Amino acid sequence: MKESNSYLGEEKVGVLMRKYAVPCIISLLVAALYNIVDQIFIANADYLGSYGNAANTVVFPLTVIALAVAVMIGDGCCAFVSLCLGGGNMSDAEKSVGTSVVLSVLSGIALCAVYLVLQDQIVTVFGGTVNSETFEYSKEYFFYITLGIPFYVFGQAMNPVIRSDGSPKFAMASTLAGAAVNIVLDPIFIFAFKWGMTGAAVATVAGQIVTAALAVWYLTRTKTVSLKKSSFRPSGAVIAKIIPLGICSFLSQISLVAAMAAINNMIRKYGALDPIFSQEQYAQIPMAVVGIVMKFFQIVISIVVGMAAGCIPIVGFNMGAGLKGRVKKLFTMLLACEALVGAAALALAELCPRQLIAVFGAANESAYYAEFAVKAFRVYLCMMIFACVNKAAFIFLQAMGRAAASTMLSMVREIVFGVGFALVLPRFFGLDGVLYSMPVSDVLTFLISAAVIVSTYHMLSGDREERALRRKAVFNN
């Protein structure tokens, strides 16, 4: 007999938020740390230094593309399964999980094939030609990371699926196990074996294989849904439900890739016009530094997204059960927590930029490296509070089933503003314009998000009226 998720509609929302959000935050943080840990070890290897750092920044967007596909499938499935369980539709919940497994496997293999065929072109698009050393390191790291893409996509897609089945702690543990393998192997391969970028990539892939293997093990013993052979027969109707619910997660990641491609190329273009960074020995510094700042941002956003994504099963179940009052209370709690995370991150970026950059090997670099890094942290991340609240609103709308509103907000923030300002502002402010693009985008997006947040509160207020009508009907009878 499978377990019931009815407690999602009965337990205090604060308790549920802690139970689901904390493991999700840790899972996403650990997933983010795969690339970040590589960069820390690479940066502190004197034979790699800022060239290896820049190469890591070049390849990073390709991991994000894979993650975008994975979370589209996984978060979409998680939201749909939760809505199905809330409404008592077990059959579609089971089909959704099986279909998501098949989609993630096929998507991972397809991405791997595309990456291998277009390796040189992709490295060039993301700014790998800033100098010859960066290009060679990028290709080396790229090749081995690509071989692990199918495992990465499957493991990351299954993580939210496992959470929707009522096992957030196992989802967290599987990701932690993979990260632990990466952390142990990185220093061995980079410092002891001197494998350089190859060693960093192989350590990462080994960790991804462990996470994927644990996901397979879990799927054979699910708690809430019963998976049969027929569950793994892809259903067009189910796919049509999953993809819209996951498209916001996809856009939030894939648009980051578009922004990074624009940023990396603007850095290469306007860095070449800078009196310092136009010099061959310093050309890679802006790209390496901005990559590090974005890694810090990714850590913060992993907390933000983890907190919001952890609420997806709770929101979906309660929306499916018609308990809007609980959803409204959870929304208020989430927005407040996200704002606090943004405030803490802002304080770190503004007050401790030198300490943050030191983690990534700044002691081995020139004074120009540290100077540009301090400016990048303080300018690029100065509107972190708005960025955090925006991201929470996008994901919460997705969990409620409001895929159109969620997608619209993501498109405006990440494509229209994120890419647009990254391309336009450097024309007026040079290299500094790249740094201005982030805070300008976040402020303008928040003005739109605020209106959507208010309308969402109005929509969720209907629960009180529904209860009053039900009490009146009972009294009249």
Q: Widest CA span of the chain, in angstroms?
A: 84
> Is 206 contained in some domain?
yes
**Would you state the structure tokens that stand for residue 111, as one six-digit string?**
């991405």
> Is 291 contained in some domain?
yes
> Is 15 contained in some domain?
no
Indicate the number of domains in the chain. Answer: 1
What is the Cα–Cα distance from 155 to 269, expressed in whole angstroms?
A: 37
> Is 405 contained in some domain?
yes
Asked which of 1-5, 72-76, 187-191, 365-369 is least confident by mean pLDDT, the reply is 1-5
Task: Identify whether the C-beta of residue 385 lies closer than 8 Å to the C-beta of residue 339.
Answer: yes
> Measured in Å, how far apart are the chain's first and last C-alpha atoms?
38
Task: Identify whether the C-beta of residue 35 lies closer than 8 Å to the C-beta of residue 53.
Answer: no
Tens of pLDDT, residue by residue over 330-370, are 888 999 999 999 999 999 999 999 888 887 766 667 788 88
Complete DSSP assignment for 243-287: HHHHHHHHHHHHHHHHHHHHHHHHHHHHHTTSTTTTSGGGTTHHH
> Is 412 contained in some domain?
yes
Best CA proximity match to 64, nearest among 182, 127, 145 = 145
**Would you state the structure tokens that stand for residue 41, as one six-digit string?**
């070890």
> Is 4 contained in some domain?
no
Cα dihedral 216, 18, 81, 248 sign: negative
DSSP H or E segment with residue 402: none
Split at pLDDT 50, 70, 90, the class of 85 is: confident
> Is 255 contained in some domain?
yes
pTM over 0.75: no
Tens of pLDDT, residue by residue over 28-83, are 787 777 767 887 888 788 788 778 878 888 888 888 899 889 989 998 898 888 88
Q: For residue 157, what are the CA distances in angstroms to 55, 77, 237, 281, 313?
A: 26, 9, 19, 41, 15
> Is 421 contained in some domain?
yes
What is the Cα–Cα distance from 234 to 446, expressed in whole angstroms?
A: 38
Answer whether residue 456 shows pLDDT above 90: no
Task: Identify whether the C-beta of residue 415 lies closer than 8 Å to the C-beta of residue 437.
Answer: no
Question: What's the domain range around 37?
Answer: 20-470
Query: 3: which DSSP letter?
Result: P
Query: 230: which DSSP letter?
Result: G
Best CA proximity match to 250, nearest among 125, 147, 335, 157 = 157
Tens of pLDDT, residue by residue over 96-154, are 999 999 999 999 999 999 999 999 999 988 878 877 888 899 999 999 999 999 999 99
Complete DSSP assignment for 23-87: HHHHHHHHHHHHHHHHHHHHHT-TTTHHHHHHHHHHHHHHHHHHHHHHHHHHHHHHHHHHHHHHH
Q: For residue 271, what are the CA distances in angstroms to 116, 285, 404?
A: 29, 9, 39
